[in-house]
Structure 1
């Protein structure tokens, strides 16, 4: 995610991470699907409607608990939510197990979102292992776990981009819900 400067321009304090590149690809795919959906003359297929209903509902649930105080520290909680969305989306776009009649741009957007979300799994695994090692000595409070989490992913710098990347992924999901699924379900 870029930082907006006072003159309206933006800059990035460090090179984009692999997560940022996946987020950008997912954002572009969602935008293309939304724009394509706007010009399609045919109504949504049953498969598209089913996928939109399921993901519209699941993303709303994700948004509701995004900032909730869980048993997990905040970044771990958010990464787990994103990985769950990726695991939900992947079978929906699998041609062997998923729905059949889905417009190509929508399928590509869903695939890009699945890649973006499931990629957080490696970071989540490392973070959970770190928390287990740090918390193995005793019963740590939520605040202690949040502090341990920040040792591995401080809010600034290259490792801290995981915070930005997770927030950026959530923004893509929100835009997909409101800009793509809501109009598709309204038609």
Structure 2
């Protein structure tokens, strides 16, 4: 496992909460959880399985949650000062925020609870840890849907694979 891009999950949660205030977007606890999940999976998909933050997500009846952040942010933002975030990681946070912040918590929950890694953990019971490797698999292997890796302009990116048939060369 590599070093996460951001040293604390709280840093990401604080960034999301502060960004919601700057954009005047209401951020209930459930939506914060969904955005954390999407940030983690999206970063892994775009960075060869690298972890954005050292988060542990567990299966809950409402979807995957990061229990520590859920507990701290359940009522409001805790009085913890935000720390600076690496520019590359912050660029990712901004991209994902722009992509998902306008969606309702219910819409995000519906999309996320369809993912195989969440469903597999939920079948095992509430509180089951969702392995990071399974999150990476679900965000990188899906050919369609919101988890697909996209270019900055929104185009879907597909992995290039050469054709099975080699090109014929003309011999003169």
Give the TM-score, by structure 2 length.
Answer: 0.23
Give the TM-score, by structure 1 length.
Answer: 0.22
Of structures 1 and 2, the one scoring higher in RCO (CA 8 A, sep 6+) is: 1
| Greater helix content | 1
